[in-house]
A and B are shown apart, each in its own frame.
Chain A
Amino acid sequence: MTATAARTGAARPRRGIGGPRMRRRLAPYLFVLPFVAVFLAFSVYPLYFTARLSFTDWRGTGAATWVGWDNYTYLLTNPSFWGSLGNSAVLWLLIVPVQMALGVLVAVLLNSAKLKLRGLYRVAFIVPFVTPLVAVAQIWVVLFDQRYGAVNALLGAFGAPEVGWLTTSAWAKPTLALLFLWKTTGFIVIILLSGLQSINGSIYEAADLDGASKFRQLWSITVPLLRRTIGFAVVLQTLAVFQMFAEPFVVTQGGPYNSTTTAGYYLYNHITRADLGTGAANSFLLVVLVMALSLLFVRLLRAKD
């Protein structure tokens, strides 16, 4: 790299001095060097290591035994692996469509020129995003406790029966989904707002003249024009939902009856069991799945353009 830069620099001597020119050619390489060093040491090397590890049986000590594709076949034929993916898929369904609908609606309302208290709403909606996840997850444990929680107390005041939010398989997933929605919707609203700001307002004036209702304008103008921003948000949240770990770790420990063992939490279980070869194989399967899903969404949204 240095040699090429020096040669081209020498081939085109300008103003007589090669120094500043050459420095200008070298500068970007020096500027990205720290990132590249961290990337090689803590992303590339571990990835290479995972790839090798995924073909071995290794318990963290002693020699690793080569087992070929065994870890992969073990996982792909194991109902609990598919169960963890299924749990994440259900959580995705409970979270992403709701969040996008709510996000677009709130962003459009916040974006309207005449809205008062806009600053207050923006701050209030992003407060959950700022709060530490572990602290909030703990608060969730207390709020949604079946016997002593504030949620059941509140519902009880209206005569509703006690719900086992965290203790029944049916309710544990929606309760986790609610935590995730509460925590991240404000951030999604801000992202959607940034997309809305690039839409030219005159298009709505034309629609007003044509007598299109506000709802009609939202569905036929705003949503199609926001497609790329929504797509970005969907990819972001898909990655986040399939990696979800801290929420089940703190709130449910994957239970009851593995109903909240997400793909991310299932992966962590291999570490606690010191079954590192299987864990590595699981990591790779998850990477492939997450990347494939992201590409799929990008494709789907492009195709409709």
Chain B
Amino acid sequence: MATTTERARPRIASHAFLMLLLVAFLAPVAWALVSAFKPANEIIRNPLSFDPTTFTLDNYIAMFQDVPIGQGFTNTAIVLLFKGAITMFFAPLAAFAFAKYQWAGKNLVFGAVLVTLMLPTIVLIIPLLLEMKELGWVNTYQALILPGAVDAFAIFWMRQVISAVPDELLDAARVDGCGEFAIFWRVIVPVIRPGLAGLAVLTVMNIYNDFVWPVVAANSERMSTLQVVLSTLAQNITGNRIGADYATVTGELLAASSVALVPLLVLFILLQRHFINGILAGSVKG
């Protein structure tokens, strides 16, 4: 008897600790999702109240009228489609070259991948912006799509994943008369599908959440991505927009944040197993 209680105590303690963290990690998002349905005045007067009978869509209606969030979604979707496709196709292809071929200059080019990984995005912002000006690409989709396409982290990660594919599979395909690209397409891609699913989640997340480059390179209202549209709302609050009613802006802001949160949350919950296992399989070992 004594031994079971002795063993149960640390288990209860660790669950209590983990549950506490779980609440802390979920509370801000849950609070925002719920509060967006509260009347705007109630959000600021009683931030902790919860009364489903008073729930309303007013904040959403006001937000859709005031903020070009539909345009933001469209722009993000276009960038996501093209930039995502480029990374999902060319990054594993490059990773294949690093993982399964011996070639002169391999270390040099892999060095370039590592440099891209380490280089702070913000450092390249000024010259990239000027380059876009020279090319006439400011406020265009090209500017949002091409820089940073063929993501370096994706190459780095997929190289680890492809390294684990046995060489015998490739040799067998060669004996069957497969060309090099056919090996990639018909042998590698089907085998690494779980890793690719993980990469897809990460890629969608990165592009969807990207903010620094879009806010600099494409800040016109017509070209604003979802995140840029969102950021203008918060500035209305902290930037003391004259005449702005704090309650109304807060309500709109929470509604907009909810709208931006939900698609990624759903995607993640559907694919979380692939994503977490993919990272577990692909990151550095201790």
Contacts and interface: CB of A to CB of B under 8 A. Distances in A.
B254 A121 contact: no
Contacts of B184: 31
A246 B286 contact: no
A4 B104 contact: yes
Contact of A228 (B18, B24, B286): B286
B91 interface: yes
A126 B276 CA distance: 9
* The 8 A-B residue pairs with the shortest CB-CB distance in the complex, in nearest-first order: A195-B286, A46-B127, A28-B97, A27-B180, A150-B47, A148-B44, A31-B97, A28-B101
B74 interface: no
Contact of A42 (B97, B106, B147, B230): B147
A134 B93 contact: no
B230 A134 contact: yes
B18 A106 contact: yes
A229 B250 contact: no
Given A123-B269, A142-B254, A46 B122 contact: no
Contact of A35 (B24, B150, B257): B150
A135 B122 CA distance: 20
B257 A138 contact: yes
A253 B147 CA distance: 26
B57 interface: no
15 contacts: A28-B106, A32-B109, A38-B146, A42-B128, A43-B119, A45-B131, A53-B127, A132-B209, A133-B227, A136-B257, A142-B43, A182-B24, A242-B120, A253-B239, A287-B123
B61 interface: no
A208 B239 CA distance: 58
Nearest to A156: B48
A25 interface: yes
A203 interface: no
A1 B147 CA distance: 27
Given A47-B127, A134-B231, A135-B230, A226 B120 contact: no
Interface string A97-135: 000000001100110101111001111111110111111
A29 B103 contact: yes
Contact of B116 (A39, A50, A290): A39
State which size class the interface on A falls in.
35 or more
A302 B260 CA distance: 42
Contacts of A120: 22
Interface of A: 1, 4, 20, 23-25, 27-29, 31-32, 34-36, 38-39, 41-43, 45-47, 49-50, 53, 105-106, 109-110, 112, 114-117, 120-128, 130-143, 145, 147-150, 153-154, 157, 166, 182, 186, 190-191, 193-199, 214, 225-229, 232, 239, 242-243, 245-246, 249-253, 264, 267-268, 270-271, 276, 279-280, 283-284, 286-287, 290-291, 294
B285 to A, nearest CB: 5
Nearest to B86: A34
A135 B261 contact: yes
Contacts of A243: 120-122
A42 B146 contact: yes
Contacts of A115: 14
Given A32-B97, A280-B126, A286-B120, A214 B10 contact: yes
A190 B272 CA distance: 12
B234 A141 contact: yes
A186 B246 CA distance: 33
A148 B47 contact: yes
B258 to A, nearest CB: 8
A242 B212 CA distance: 14
Contacts of A43: 112, 115-116, 119, 124
Given A132-B261, A280-B126, A283-B126, A124 B155 contact: no
B127 A128 contact: no
Contacts of A245: 122, 212
B25 A246 contact: no
Interface in B86-114: 86, 90-91, 93-94, 96-98, 101, 103-106, 109, 112-113
Nearest to A51: B127
Contact of B112 (A27, A36, A190): A36
B113 A35 contact: yes
Contact of B131 (A32, A38, A46, A280): A46
Contacts of B115: 43
Nearest to A120: B22
Contacts of B265: 127, 130-131
B47 A191 contact: no
Contacts of B234: 134, 137-138, 141, 250-251
Nearest to A290: B120
Interface string B2-23: 0000000011001101100110
